[in-house]
Structure 1
Amino acid sequence: MKGKGEVKTRRVLAQHWLKSESALENIVRAARCTKDDRVLEIGPGTGVLTRRILPLVQALISVEIDRDLCKMLVKEFGNRENFLLLQGDFLELDVESQLGSFEKFQNQNKVVANIPYNITGPIIEKLLGTIANPNTKPYESIVLLIQKEVAERIVAKPGGRTFGALTVRVQYLAQCEYVCTVPAKAFHPAPKVDSAIVKLVPRQLENLANDPKYLETLVKLGFGAKRKMLRNNLQSIIERDELTTILEGLHINPQARGEDIGVEQWVKLSNELKERAKQNNALEDDSLSKATNDDKFDDSDINVDDGHDV
């Protein structure tokens, strides 16, 4: 296999090679791989993470878009019985349909990925789904190496400037852990910003939002104008005074902004508004859909730099 210095990066694919041994070990440790695991690896790159995970698991399915890197990966790992490489764009690839009769590699239960910054949102959406349409076959755990700023938004707590719609959407679907920071110098070439490892553990979603689609669009509305109070952002669907009464009943400060209330309170607010709509038609279902009909994963608050790869 070619040495790291001989592997040319392709900026169009936002490639930066991870060279930090400690970062690689932290990813493996966070994934807690065992011989019972079938792991999906997104973006194996030069195979530095593949090399560490492969001996630990029952099966490893790696998805790589770069044809030249695929040739290198096949050369090194192609004869391993528990390794399968799929060449293509993960966002466009139906992994399960590609596996065919390879039963050993089906139904992956864990994910490890070092993903380009500029497609972080779409990849997380494909892995977790959305509030309105969650992944029906959730993974046990998802370990991602992503831009530090995005990681901080994902794990943010209410009341901080980093808490936003992205936070609510991801934390509704998964328990989120900030594992560690990975400095820019851990890559070659170094990106302009630091990265971080996060671990997502998909939740059991029963008995949460009574109407997930309603919650999805409510969150989008609630963060529609940053730094504005909820009663201003939501006035297109409910009178300010009525919302104030509802917020007080839920023990939420009537002057709260979207970033001031946690996921559990967002769910309670959504359930209460939905129930009021049923009781007195004060809130018609279509009033929310008219305000915003986009239930796609919203990563508009992600400021991306050039990405990276293993």
Structure 2
Amino acid sequence: MTIKARKKFAQHWLRSEEALNQIVTAANLQKSDRILEIGPGTGILTQRLLPFVQSVVAVEIDRDLCRLLVKKLGKIDNLLLLQGDFLSLELDTLLANFSNFQQPNKVVANIPYNITGPILEKLLGTITQPAVPGFDLIVLLVQKEVAQRLYAKPSCRAFGALSVRVQYLAECELICD
């Protein structure tokens, strides 16, 4: 089954072995970790995570990719694949239906670039919307320009509202260029 990236979902496939290694290293995976992966795509990052953690809850909006992942990965006890839009899911309510899966404590994801802001808002919270609770660490692969804005200091040209909000709510670190 050949799958093409869909523009409407801002899909891009993670292929770089170096980037995969940097993401996995930055996640500091422990056997007790429960990972949330947003947009697993073709499953390359998912496959890297599964052997090292207690569980992975992967949320994929694309039905075709979900079918591909089921075919590619098969039945794996520590993987819960959910088809749906992460931004509209109530994760804690949803996970209550799956007794083997607890609330994730880390997010590790190669997220769709066009919804980076809304994903960050859901993970970190806003004035009107509380954060999804319980994350010890969030490792996201984002566009270089977005990473520069997230990490920017007040004297930098890229510094803005997103920089202030993210840096107020979390420690921000660049792990690769």
Q: TM-score range by the shorter chain?
A: over 0.9
- Name the counterpart of 1:39: 35
Q: Does 1:167 align with 2:130?
A: no
Task: Report the Cα offset of residue 101 of structure 1.
Answer: 3.7
Task: Report the Cα offset of residue 136 of structure 1.
Answer: 6.4
- Name the counterpart of 2:176: 180
Distance in 1 (CA, whole Å) between partners of 2:129 and 2:83 is 27
Report Cα offsets for 1:76-130 as digits up to 9, x if no partner. 3341110100000100111222223423322110001211221110000000002
Report Cα offsets for 1:33-84 as digits up to 9, x if no partner. 1110000000000000001001110010000011011011112334111010
**1:94 aligned residue (90, 93, 96):** 90
Q: What number of residue pairs does the alignment pair up?
A: 177
- Name the counterpart of 1:105: 101
Task: Report the Cα offset of residue 132 of structure 1.
Answer: 6.3
What percent of counterpart residues are identical? 62
TM-score (norm 1): 0.55
Distance in 1 (CA, whole Å) between partners of 2:109 and 2:7 is 18
**2:77 aligned residue (76, 81, 87):** 81
Task: Report the Cα offset of residue 131 of structure 1.
Answer: 5.2
Q: What residue ranges of structure 2 are gaps of 5+ in the alignment?
A: none
Distance in 1 (CA, whole Å) between partners of 2:67 and 2:94 is 19
TM-score (norm 2): 0.94
Task: Report the Cα offset of residue 140 of structure 1.
Answer: 0.3
Aligned positions of 1:256-271 closer than 5 A: none
Report Cα offsets for 1:174-230 as digits up to 9, x if no partner. 00001112xxxxxxxxxxxxxxxxxxxxxxxxxxxxxxxxxxxxxxxxxxxxxxxxx
Distance 1:134 1:109, change over 3 A: same
Report Cα offsets for 1:144-185 as digits up to 9, x if no partner. 11111111111111211111111110001000001112xxxx
- Name the counterpart of 1:62: 58
Letter in 1 for 2:72: E
**1:127 aligned residue (107, 123, 128):** 123
**2:46 aligned residue (47, 50, 66):** 50
Distance in 2 (CA, whole Å) between partners of 1:81 and 1:18 is 24
Q: Does 1:115 align with 2:115?
A: no
Answer whether contact 1:65 1:87 (CA < 8 A) is retained: yes
Q: Does 1:147 align with 2:173?
A: no
**2:19 aligned residue (9, 12, 23):** 23
- Name the counterpart of 1:306: none
Distance in 1 (CA, whole Å) between partners of 2:39 and 2:156 is 32
Distance in 2 (CA, whole Å) between partners of 1:35 and 1:163 is 37
Paired residue secondary structure (1:17): coil
Paired residue secondary structure (1:103): coil
Letter in 2 for 1:63: V
Greater Rg over alpha carbons, structure: 1
Distance 1:95 1:132, change over 3 A: closer
Distance in 2 (CA, whole Å) between partners of 1:126 and 1:44 is 18
Letter in 2 for 1:27: I
Paired residue secondary structure (2:72): helix
Distance in 1 (CA, whole Å) between partners of 2:36 and 2:174 is 20
Letter in 2 for 1:152: Q
**1:11 aligned residue (7, 13, 23):** 7
